[in-house]
Structure 1
């Protein structure tokens, strides 16, 4: 990799994979930030040109090695999960800091290898657990949390255990880990499956003075995400990361402002800025905490069966 950067030069950043998550969540944030030299990469030339033109990004690549050789210092990886390991391995080996969508991989061992590689190369590896940065969930963390209940439900979408847990329920797992006020001493998993597809899943995490429940119903009749934290005779609810309701006597409700971007509401803008700030400062982001979330997901899959 050729390093062409100077102190005043824009930060050269690659965006790898241009599917829905990149288009809807990340490119609107990245293209609005000053001081970035964005470079797009996907193997689909027609999509590459269409999105490049839409965002006025002239630097476009269909080959990962060519993108690396262009001198990027950081990369956002939004490719399919089964491509995360080979892409992230090449980036880290080339000395590039990496932000990657969750999960690192559908299995624990490859995820662990990526974290170990980041350690050896001294590069950042940040997994996109954006809910840790969502304002509603940060506000929930301010409150007493003797009991935490997080539901993330879907309509008509039963799924095989491994993909359900690692693609979707992983957000529930990581958010509970983030919110619990102490060390987790007990883990319990309950589920129902039919014809090899999980219909609902309930995770219990408990420790000294707290219990946390993670619930996913794939036949709930609606798509919703509801967080409740309670303690000290008070409760705070967050509905779909946008509406915060405090209960202590008469409930009070605060809603997302009309002009607050969805990416800010969901913590995407904040996690992107955190990653880019670390890159500019030369500060390495450790992925071991994210790996512990993957370890717990692997345990959940083992308990409910593939």
Structure 2
């Protein structure tokens, strides 16, 4: 299978290329407009097929593509790839507006191509296992140190992981949504999202002026609490007892963080002819648009479904 990797920044080099280059039967084609990066990454991974032009890459007959370009370039690149009949995996967000994301999802449907958004936390084993536990309360924090920024940038480029994860872990159908934010001179300092329904509440929080960069998830219910730190370190509390399950030293970070399984899931679908749609990912983008507009307009509290 001919597989393109477009955009060779940190996420491509650290999370995706180590996975893709280890898979059998994958003929990797690299693409970026930066000739120095193209050369250095190609040499590091011994990949000879290198392209500085999107049309030349498409002309090479790739079957599928992983898009890791800047968010602003996603719509143009994804649209062209889908139009050329290529299955697409794209880093979150698909686009930084709901309207553009919806257009691309419809385009994938029109061309009958797979479109998958890189919500790797759904495939992280420690997070996925939480779906089998009682989830009366879900709490997720993903904080940043000294990084206030405009609301749309924060919510679509970073908080979107929190939105998608608490949607994924929510204990039932979502009936109520509440948002609280703090904006200082046009920059988002914190955002808190609450999703609730029959018997559950899922809360996601991000502070952009925190004292540290951190991420954790807790689920509580039926007399137990499970906490996952940094996507992979599990601590269970039950009956007044506490037990920790650190990841094995032999577990690759790419596997623990879900990159390995999500890549395999996408490529398996392409290989089998099963088409993946991005409708559920689109719902996360819709909610991010609603949160963004509430933040920009200074509207806290309940928001419509």
Tell whether the structures are fold-level matches, with TM greater than 0.5.
yes
What is residue 296 of structure 1 aligned with on the other side?
287
Report matched runs for 1:131-170 at 5 Å.
131-170=121-160
State how far apart, in whole Å, the 2-side matches of 1:41 and 1:132 are. 27
Pairing partner for 1:96 from 82, 86, 94:
86
Q: Residues 116-164 of structure 1: CA distance to partner in whole angstroms, max 9, x if unpaired? A: 0000000000000000000110121110000000000111111110000
State how far apart, in whole Å, the 2-side matches of 1:117 and 1:146 are. 38
Question: How big is the shift at 1:196?
Answer: 0.9
What is residue 256 of structure 2 aligned with on the other side?
265
Question: How big is the shift at 1:284?
Answer: 0.5
Question: How big is the shift at 1:302?
Answer: 1.1
Give unmatched runs, 5+ long, in structure 2: 298-305
State how far apart, in whole Å, the 2-side matches of 1:136 and 1:239 are. 9
State how far apart, in whole Å, the 2-side matches of 1:13 and 1:219 are. 39
User: Is residue 201 of structure 1 aligned with residue 191 of structure 2?
Assistant: yes
User: Is residue 219 of structure 1 aligned with residue 209 of structure 2?
Assistant: yes
Pairing partner for 1:129 from 98, 119, 133:
119
Query: Moved runs in structure 1, 4+ residues, more than 2 A?
Result: none
Pairing partner for 1:190 from 161, 175, 180:
180
Q: Residues 266-293 of structure 1: CA distance to partner in whole angstroms, max 9, x if unpaired? A: 1000000000000000110011100000
What is residue 30 of structure 2 aligned with on the other side?
40
State how far apart, in whole Å, the 2-side matches of 1:295 and 1:283 are. 25
State how far apart, in whole Å, the 2-side matches of 1:112 and 1:198 are. 25
State how far apart, in whole Å, the 1-side matches of 2:128 and 2:102 are. 28
State how far apart, in whole Å, the 2-side matches of 1:25 and 1:77 are. 13
Secondary structure at 1:192 match in 2:
strand
Aligned residues: 296
State how far apart, in whole Å, the 2-side matches of 1:192 and 1:44 are. 38
What is residue 105 of structure 1 aligned with on the other side?
95
State how far apart, in whole Å, the 1-side matches of 2:179 and 2:8 are. 35
TM-score, normalised with respect to structure 2:
0.96
Report matched runs for 1:68-83 at 5 Å.
68-83=58-73
Q: Residues 148-189 of structure 1: CA distance to partner in whole angstroms, max 9, x if unpaired? A: 000001111111100000000000000011111211110000
Secondary structure at 1:188 match in 2:
strand
Question: How big is the shift at 1:74?
Answer: 0.2
State how far apart, in whole Å, the 2-side matches of 1:275 and 1:12 are. 14
Question: How big is the shift at 1:259?
Answer: 1.7
State how far apart, in whole Å, the 1-side matches of 2:205 and 2:37 are. 37
What is residue 276 of structure 1 aligned with on the other side?
267
TM-score, normalised with respect to structure 1:
0.96
State the Cα RMSD in Å.
Answer: 0.8
State how far apart, in whole Å, the 2-side matches of 1:71 and 1:198 are. 43
State how far apart, in whole Å, the 2-side matches of 1:53 and 1:149 are. 43
State how far apart, in whole Å, the 1-side matches of 2:210 and 2:38 are. 37
What is residue 301 of structure 2 aligned with on the other side?
none
Moved more, 42-51 or 263-272: 42-51
State how far apart, in whole Å, the 2-side matches of 1:130 and 1:247 are. 26
State how far apart, in whole Å, the 1-side matches of 2:53 and 2:188 are. 38
Report matched runs for 1:26-65 at 5 Å.
26-65=16-55
